[in-house]
Structure 1
Amino acid sequence: MQLYRGRLIDHLHLVVRDVKASRRFYGAVLEVLGVPIGGEAEDYFWADELFVSSADSRAAQGVLTGRHHLAFQAKDRAMVDAFYQAGLAAGGKDNGAPGERPYHPGYYAA
């Protein structure tokens, strides 16, 4: 069976130092976006095409992911605002309050 959805990325694997803290954060912000956690174990979790594991998981090969930037799509500004609040409440770092960004006209992000 051939799987092709026409998207740029099939999946993304992040290897993190603290998988429990990452689970809290991603669980909170993805809930706002309407994306459920698809599965989890002690050393990993996944949601849609995002897979997050600890460095000692079988898939990680013992190497942490370096600095990264992920941009999730939201349906409207209210969802961006809620995502921002949920991220902060779940231990996320504030890299900029919700507002327009210069990426293209009308781009609203946090």
Structure 2
Amino acid sequence: MYDHIGLKVKDLAASRRFYEAALAPLGHVPGPHDDSYAGIGPADAPALWLYADKGAKNANGPGTHIAFRAPDHEAVAAFHKAGLEAGGTDNGGAGPRADYSPTYYAAFLIDPDGNNVEAVCP
């Protein structure tokens, strides 16, 4: 159901320590990171992304990002269409995201509370 979740955090180092320790017993390991973000999750694909809140105003909501796994490209497009019809705001239509990975296919919406919601098909 869920593919990944992104959280804006005040102290990236402290959050990394917490989540890496708390999630280790569940089989999660540290993933890609730098001074602005960190990935944590199964070794093959981080499922939790932490983003440093550097005080910048986020035009796309409060900093919460939830991605739902879709079975195929058609479901990604249907998610986007249904979300727009239900009051969501477009944040990126259904299509490939080569900057994420060669096979990444997703659509993004801003929900009524300003959260960034995604459907992704691996």
Q: TM-score, normalised by structure 2?
A: 0.40
Q: TM-score, normalised by structure 1?
A: 0.44
Bigger fraction of residues in strand: 2
